[in-house]
Chains A and B, each alone.
Chain A
Amino acid sequence: MRAADALMESLKAEGVEHIFGIPGGANLPTYDALVDADFRHIQVRHEQGGGHAAEGYAKASGRVGVAFATSGPGATNLVTAIADAMMDSVPTVFVTGQVRTELIGTDGFQEADILGATLPFVKHSFQVTDPRQIPEYVHEAFHVASTGRPGPVLLDVPQDLSRADIDYAPRTEPVELAGYKPASGGNLKQVRIAAKALANARRPILYTGGGVVNANASEELREFATSDRFPVTSTLMGLGSFPASHEQWLGMLGMHGTVTANWAMDNADLIVAIGARFDDRITGKLAEFAPHAKIIHLDIDPAEISKNVGAHIPIVGDAKLVLPELTREYRALQTDPSRLDAWWKQLTGWQDEHPLHYEPAKDSEIKPQFMIEAMHRATKGDAIVTSDVGQHQMWAAQYYGFEKPRRWINSGGLGTMGFGLPAAVGAKVACPDDDVVCLAGDGSLIMNCQELATCVSEEIPVKVFLMNNGYMGMVRQWQELFWDRRYSAVAMGPSPDWVKLAEAFGATGIRCEDSADLEETMATALETDGPVLLDVRVTQEENCYPMIPPGQAARDMVEDPKMVS
């Protein structure tokens, strides 16, 4: 069998149904094999879009996302998406074409050392040196990408090798890699110590992250949290793994988290970190982070434990397996639930005094926070929301109120502007029956707006809700607050006309400038067939609060512009 056909067979054996990509010289054999293979291939318009679409697909479905690109510029265009998938632990497999073997190392046409270029950003990578490796490497790639802490795997296939003839037999045994043994269940002794420490805690808090989503452990988290009245906060990446409507939910923590969540961390005596990695956007000034707290750190990646913040009780394991053990051990201790009364009194006091708030508009102006609330109502809080990066992302995280996991798809670690639209393409392909809304910023959307053509041509009815404030708003906010309002290269100017742009792509374009019409216009956009771009003109210079100023501690959180010094 031709090796390129064996590549298709191996992908099929891994359960692949959808592939995002663009052909080129070096992956012509792959695309030739694709003609007879039974995949849905989504022809994106830029490889970066293909990469983010694969990520959106993986985040929405929990399955491995797959993207193809050719050698050289095709492959380097994938690099941002690969780095993004690494930072957010997204199970993805990227298959790049490479120049013919005899050209490798000669600076051949469209040659780039993509293996070398992506070394810092991959969980693992392979370059095929013998065509018989192709099926084996595909299975290994899927195994590594999808198990343990998920991540991106690159498979680089020289053109000549994918044309070679090989014997192909479907693989029957599971993949075994001598140097790769992902953790599963936690150490029971450690779990018991954690339960006993929790039983003694007076001010505990559960700090949960994207690992809970990746582990599909939302139910287990809820069981654990409600085994007592443990307050729950989450990182940006973990939103939805604990329902926002739950009485134990404190809101997101971190730089733009709620006052209560951040002050709770600052005052806690015991923090249970679950699938979270103490990123600088969470800790703020590290030396002053959670000064009173002991740390229980549960993570599937041992290298995350004590990387940024030392763990008093480390537990390496899969949250889905460890949380039920922890719940059982904790319940067996039969603790007195009233011991958390004082803590909850303090927490609810903060919630009452420092809720998320904004100054409502006095006229028809659309406040960005109001736009998110309207979006919540129009989608009944049940859409899959992808987002770009910036203020709109933070407002969505604050105001949308995610009830379920895999409904909030954004670029957290790398903070990739332009992520939202291609990610929505992938999410809609994965979940065709769900409403998929891309909440975009105008600075971000332009970076990958070519994927509107993908939406139209491939009939992927994504709804883009553009929060258009005419600025790269978060950068503008920082320039205003920390750089004496010396605006530098943040205004977006009058271009493009988004409605006309949408129409030029063959999508529906709608504009909304009046808050009274917004919810209804959103409903219309959702009901309209095909892709829709809704250009919502919001307050131009609104700032996102509350905020922990960069390099400061949680207790320095500011809720009001007058407090920023």
Chain B
Amino acid sequence: MEAGTPQLVKLEDLHVPGQLSGRKHILSILVENKPGVLARIAGLFSRRGFNIDTLAVGPTDDPSISRITLTLDGAVHPIDQVTKQLHKLVNVLKIRDMEPEETVAREMAMFKVSSSVESRAEIIQFAEIFRAKVIDVSRRTMTIEVTGSADKIEAFERMLRPHGLIEMVRTGEIAIARGGD
């Protein structure tokens, strides 16, 4: 056979796929519920220079397995390399890079805002629009709970901020795949 016949692979046709996706990724990671697992994951991220944006840890329906949901920026970090490094941890059972179109993601946040008698009505109105709940009230403050996507929570924060945001607590996103699988 002549070298260069069509059935061979032309070197100039070979390409390396891009490493950076340019978007936010939500990784849903199932890990064994054992001491030190979170330290292993956190340590891996810090020593490889990967920056976690949000992190949520909780139980699953199986008490021996926990779920870690973390978000990170695919414009800065090669997600493929991150997941491959995570897979090397023996306590990591499964990693899912959640596809945005096929994922429902939610985060909860609590906002404590200063609220005078005059501003209270407006704040409650904002809360209704965002389907948020007032969960605590004092003479000078209100505390509001809101659930939604990170974008929604950030939008709500922008509305409240002019009233004087005293404190904000966010859980970090958790996510689940849409439909059945």
Chain A residues within CB distance 8 Å of chain B: 115-116, 119-120, 123-124, 127, 129, 144, 177-180, 193, 196-197, 199-201, 269-270, 294-295, 301-303, 305-307, 310-313, 333-336, 339
Residues of B contacting A120 in the complex (Cβ-Cβ under 8 angstroms): 43, 47
Seed contacts A197-B11, A303-B87, A305-B84; 12 additional CB < 8 Å A-B pairs: A115-B36, A119-B40, A120-B47, A124-B90, A179-B90, A179-B91, A193-B9, A306-B19, A306-B80, A306-B81, A310-B16, A336-B2
Residues of B contacting A295 in the complex (Cβ-Cβ under 8 angstroms): 16
- Cα-based distance from A127 to B35 in the complex (angstroms): 9
Q: Interface 1/0s, chain B 55-90, versus A by CB < 8 A?
A: 000000000000000000000001011001101111
B15 within 8 Å of A by Cβ? yes
Residue on B with the closest CB to A124?
B90
Going nearest first, the 5 A-B pairs with the smallest beta carbon separation are A310-B16, A303-B84, A312-B14, A196-B9, A197-B9
A312, B3: Cβ atoms closer than 8 Å:
no
Q: How far is the CB of A99 from chain B (nearest CB, A)?
A: 16
Q: How far is the CB of A176 from chain B (nearest CB, A)?
A: 12
Residues of A contacting B89 in the complex (Cβ-Cβ under 8 angstroms): 179
Q: What are 30 A-B residue pairs whose CB atoms fall within 8 Å in the complex?
A: A119-B40, A124-B90, A127-B35, A144-B90, A178-B32, A193-B9, A196-B7, A196-B8, A196-B9, A197-B9, A197-B11, A199-B3, A199-B9, A200-B11, A269-B11, A303-B84, A303-B85, A303-B87, A306-B78, A307-B81, A310-B17, A310-B19, A311-B16, A312-B15, A312-B16, A313-B14, A333-B8, A335-B3, A336-B2, A339-B3
B153 within 8 Å of A by Cβ? no
- Cα-based distance from A97 to B46 in the complex (angstroms): 28
B93 within 8 Å of A by Cβ? yes
Q: How far is the CB of B21 from chain A (nearest CB, A)?
A: 14
B14, A197: Cβ atoms closer than 8 Å:
yes
Tell me which residues from 82 to 108 in chain B have a Cβ below 8 Å from any Cβ of chain A.
Answer: 84-85, 87-93
B4 within 8 Å of A by Cβ? yes
Residues of B contacting A306 in the complex (Cβ-Cβ under 8 angstroms): 16, 19, 78, 80-81
B169 within 8 Å of A by Cβ? no
A335, B90: Cβ atoms closer than 8 Å:
no
- Cα-based distance from A123 to B40 in the complex (angstroms): 11
Residues of A contacting B16 in the complex (Cβ-Cβ under 8 angstroms): 295, 306, 310-312
- Cα-based distance from A137 to B11 in the complex (angstroms): 48
Residues of A contacting B11 in the complex (Cβ-Cβ under 8 angstroms): 197, 200-201, 269-270, 294
Residues of A contacting B84 in the complex (Cβ-Cβ under 8 angstroms): 302-303, 305
Residues of A contacting B139 in the complex (Cβ-Cβ under 8 angstroms): none
Q: Interface 1/0s, chain B 27-43, versus A by CB < 8 A?
A: 00001100110011001
Most buried by A among B16, B78, B81, B87: B16
A333, B1: Cβ atoms closer than 8 Å:
yes
B140 within 8 Å of A by Cβ? no
Most buried by B among A123, A193, A302, A305: A302
Chain B residues within CB distance 8 Å of chain A: 1-4, 7-11, 14-17, 19, 31-32, 35-36, 39-40, 43, 47, 78, 80-81, 84-85, 87-93
- Cα-based distance from A199 to B8 in the complex (angstroms): 7
Q: How far is the CB of A275 from chain B (nearest CB, A)?
A: 16
Residue in A129, A197, A313 whose beta carbon sits within 8 Å of that of B35 in the complex: A129
Residues of A contacting B91 in the complex (Cβ-Cβ under 8 angstroms): 179
A302, B87: Cβ atoms closer than 8 Å:
yes
Residue on A with the closest CB to B36?
A115
Q: How far is the CB of A69 from chain B (nearest CB, A)?
A: 20
A177, B39: Cβ atoms closer than 8 Å:
no
Residue on A with the closest CB to B39?
A119
Q: How far is the CB of B36 from chain A (nearest CB, A)?
A: 7
Residues of A contacting B40 in the complex (Cβ-Cβ under 8 angstroms): 119
Q: How far is the CB of B110 from chain A (nearest CB, A)?
A: 32
B14, A335: Cβ atoms closer than 8 Å:
no
Residue on A with the closest CB to B78?
A306
- Cα-based distance from A120 to B31 in the complex (angstroms): 18
- Cα-based distance from A334 to B91 in the complex (angstroms): 46
A179, B43: Cβ atoms closer than 8 Å:
no
Q: How far is the CB of A133 from chain B (nearest CB, A)?
A: 11
- Cα-based distance from A196 to B87 in the complex (angstroms): 31
A301, B88: Cβ atoms closer than 8 Å:
yes
Q: How far is the CB of A157 from chain B (nearest CB, A)?
A: 15
Residues of A contacting B3 in the complex (Cβ-Cβ under 8 angstroms): 199-200, 335-336, 339
- Cα-based distance from A119 to B35 in the complex (angstroms): 13
Residues of B contacting A196 in the complex (Cβ-Cβ under 8 angstroms): 7-9
Most buried by B among A180, A303, A333, A334: A303
- Cα-based distance from A200 to B5 in the complex (angstroms): 9
Residue in B9, B85, B88, B93 whose beta carbon sits within 8 Å of that of A178 in the complex: B93
Residues of A contacting B81 in the complex (Cβ-Cβ under 8 angstroms): 303, 306-307
Residues of B contacting A197 in the complex (Cβ-Cβ under 8 angstroms): 8-9, 11, 14
- Cα-based distance from A301 to B88 in the complex (angstroms): 9
- Cα-based distance from A333 to B2 in the complex (angstroms): 10
Q: How far is the CB of B64 from chain A (nearest CB, A)?
A: 10
Q: How far is the CB of B45 from chain A (nearest CB, A)?
A: 11
Residue on A with the closest CB to B4?
A200
Residue on A with the closest CB to B91?
A179
- Cα-based distance from A23 to B7 in the complex (angstroms): 64
Q: How far is the CB of A439 from chain B (nearest CB, A)?
A: 32
Residue on B with the closest CB to A144?
B90
- Cα-based distance from A102 to B4 in the complex (angstroms): 71
Residues of B contacting A193 in the complex (Cβ-Cβ under 8 angstroms): 9
Q: How far is the CB of A121 from chain B (nearest CB, A)?
A: 10
Q: How far is the CB of A113 from chain B (nearest CB, A)?
A: 10
